[in-house]
Amino acid sequence: MRTITYSEAIHESIDYNMEKDETVFNLGEDIGVLGGGFRATHDLYEKYGRKRVLDTPLSEIAIVGAAIGAALGGLRPIPEIMYIDFTPGCMDMIVNQMAKIHFMFGGQIKVPMVLRTVCGAAGYNAAQHSQSMYPFFVHTPGLIVVTPSTPYDAKGLLNTSIADDNPVIFMEHKRLYTSKGEVPEEFYTIPFGKADVKREGDDLTIVATHALVHDALALAEEMEKEGTSIEVIDPRTLVPFDKETIFKSVEKTNKLIVADESILSCGMASEISAIVAEEMFDYLDKPIIRVASPNCHCPFSMPLEDAYIPGKEELKEAIAKVL
């Protein structure tokens, strides 16, 4: 099978769906002529024109508000917010409109739209361009929240997202854009709410998201040589969330580490840990360990950002505690 990057997989999905369905269009800052901040929409402006690839003013509330109106009118917009850090500027549109309209109109109106945005610390971009704030959206009923970690997952889940009649928050991690993986050329979908066991193991379960999936897999390969068998699970979607796959793994390994780049306090690592502790306590031989970003802003300093981002070293420390 051919190998392409995470960014190319996202581009391929958008391109295919735009070609297949004239109601699909993109809007956002610098996505047209410049091809997007991370090149995921490059050449689409030339191929489909300014009516379907709209370069917008620097107004996040206008981008999401226009997309909601278009979705209510029968189109399938894909608005892009360049960084998740900018979503507070349009939080009213996301939380009180995009997420609630279907509910408040008794299911008579649908909001088929995919809000693409970028999370994660990388490149020393300081506190306002480095956050992983998606727990805000997990906390908001009415939104599907997608967190692909591989090019294969990115293409399949974006295809599913564009076809879905519900509003989707599609979270892309900036450290993954250049990562490569095998991706079929043909169209395919991945269902929401179906976690993926990236690696099977017997001694310990690590549930990880986004870039931490790759750190966990690399560490699991190293630990295998020392005789420790680690199972790595990627939820892939945070809403809906596949707890059954995780429960089955914990029942086998009796130990759990949860790794996610959102802030430790009230973050995804905390939520997943709580779900397992609440329903699988009798199967746990050791306390659950959380690996997450510290409860502070991401620093601009290069060595401080490197220390801030959770990764293999933090996972190693967690494994040592559990084992």
Which is catalytic among the residues 102, 129, 173, 210? 129
Question: What is the C-alpha separation between 142 and 272, in angstroms, rounded?
Answer: 19
Residue 231: DSSP 8-state: E
Q: Is position 102 annotated as part of the catalytic site?
A: no
Peptide bond into 240 cis (omega under 30): yes
Residues 6 or more apart whose Cβ sits within 8 Å of residue 304: none
**Total count of residues recorded for the chain:** 323
The number of beta carbons lying within 10 Å of the beta carbon of residue 24 is 21
Burial class (CB in 10 A: 0-12, 13-18, 19+), 42: middle
Only one residue has tokens 């004239």, namely 22
Q: The tokens of 107 are what? A: 């299911």
DSSP β-bridge partners for residue 146: 170, 237
Catalytic positions, written as ranges: 129
